[in-house]
């Protein structure tokens, strides 16, 4: 029988952190969450507060005294606290850089002091403008100019990775870095630019779905429950320290097709749908006549994020490394995830 492990989850009141806390408690582990609630929400963990093995501390990870005390009581730290979301990154680059770099440094120091295993969340953003698809962990990266604040998030997470691996090589800290590719599921909100929550909210309300640019950029979306299995698998495996792993789905979909899929998940075909045309500038780029677009409007990137915003056309992970290491691969389809999300957004 597996012995319980004492975990500390930074950012544990957030979308992914709250699901991770649930899963760890279900398998008998002891979980402490630290979150300053700047982006996390109490409602995500409200149902866990009475659990005898769950402990919540409202504080910033930059509070060294609090972090030190919590790290001294656990064996494994999962570092999820970060500034996330394109909108937040573009509007608050100083906060993004300071939170990500200084916060990770504080966690690594605390983990080293008490000989914890530390799992550090990174992002597919570190692949930047790379065009070699799918993205492999050892691929070169190409970021945009430093004058484009959009790339500050990717750069800060790259520093997090460099720092984490340096702690492993120089000090022997047990570190694992995992790069997340568009995780989706219940409790995720669109406040900071997350695409699917915004789409689902708009579709459930019967509002037109807002697609940026021409919608032909593509992404891979992985259900949070699959992601949690991967994180726990890496946490429990002793042969993966000092390594970087992609976590994500390999099923690619354009944002335009995603918008259509979300709309039809929220509005069955029996419902009469209005139709709206995209702007003339974008109409010629669409894969089918504009008159066939159902309840979708198109907004240029400059209008959404400011002049000069840059984005990647494709982002697909190579997950062969994590599959070989712990036998993980996604099991939940995007259609299943969307149906679950639509139900969670409907009024009770």
Catalytically active residues are: 153
Please count the other Cβ atoms lying within 10 Å of the Cβ belonging to residue 27.
11
Measuring CA to CA, which residue among 75, 60, 69, 64 is closest to residue 106?
Answer: 64
Q: Half-sphere exposure of 200 toward its Cβ, with a 13 Å CA cutoff?
A: 27
175 with 120: CB under 8 angstroms? yes
30 with 6: CB under 8 angstroms? yes
Beta bridge partners of 177: 120, 244
342 with 261: CB under 8 angstroms? no
Report d(CA 197, CA 187) in Å as an integer.
Answer: 9
212 with 255: CB under 8 angstroms? yes
Residue 16, judged by CB atoms within 10 A of its CB (0-12, 13-18, 19+), counts as buried
153 with 125: CB under 8 angstroms? yes
Q: Exposure string (b/e) for 61-98, b if CB count within 10 Å is 16 or more?
A: bbeeebbeebbeebbbbbbbbbbbbbebbbebbeebbe
Helices (H), 209-348: 224-236, 255-266, 280-283, 301-305, 320-326, 334-345
Cα-Cα-Cα-Cα dihedral of 120, 316, 327, 156, to 10°? Answer: -10
């Amino acid at each position: 029988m597996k012995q319980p492990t004492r975990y500390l989850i930074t950012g544990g009141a957030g979308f992914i952190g709250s699901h991770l806390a649930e899963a760890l408690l279900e398998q008998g582990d002891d979980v402490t969450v630290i979150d300053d609630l700047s982006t996390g929400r109490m409602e995500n963990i409200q149902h866990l507060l009475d659990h005898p093995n769950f402990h919540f501390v409202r504080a910033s990870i930059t509070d060294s005294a609090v972090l030190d005390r919590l790290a001294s009581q656990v064996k494994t730290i999962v570092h999820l606290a970060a500034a996330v979301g394109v909108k937040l990154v573009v509007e608050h680059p100083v906060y993004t850089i300071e939170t990500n770099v200084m916060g990770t440094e504080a966690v690594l120091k605390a983990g080293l002091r008490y000989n914890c295993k530390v799992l550090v969340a990174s992002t597919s953003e570190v692949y930047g403008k790379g065009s070699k698809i799918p993205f492999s962990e050892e691929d070169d990266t190409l970021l945009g100019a430093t004058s484009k604040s959009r790339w500050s998030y990717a750069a800060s997470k790259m520093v997090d990775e460099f720092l984490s691996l340096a702690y492993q090589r120089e000090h022997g800290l047990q570190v694992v870095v995992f790069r997340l590719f568009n995780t989706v599921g219940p409790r995720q909100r669109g406040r900071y630019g997350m695409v699917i929550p915004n789409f689902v909210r708009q579709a459930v309300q019967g509002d037109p779905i807002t697609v940026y640019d021409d919608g032909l950029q593509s992404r891979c979306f992985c259900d949070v429950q699959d992601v949690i299995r991967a994180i726990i698998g890496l946490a429990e495996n002793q042969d993966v320290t000092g390594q970087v792993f992609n976590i994500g789905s390999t099923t690619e979909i354009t944002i335009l097709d995603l918008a259509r899929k979300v709309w039809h998940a929220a509005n069955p075909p029996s419902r009469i749908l209005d139709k709206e045309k995209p702007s003339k500038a974008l109409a010629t780029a669409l894969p089918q006549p504009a008159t066939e677009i159902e309840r979708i409007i198109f907004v240029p990137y400059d209008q959404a994020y400011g002049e000069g915003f840059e984005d990647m056309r494709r982002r697909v992970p190579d997950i062969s490394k994590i599959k070989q290491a712990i036998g993980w691969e996604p099991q939940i389809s995007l259609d299943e995830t969307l149906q679950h999300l639509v139900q969670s957004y409907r009024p009770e």
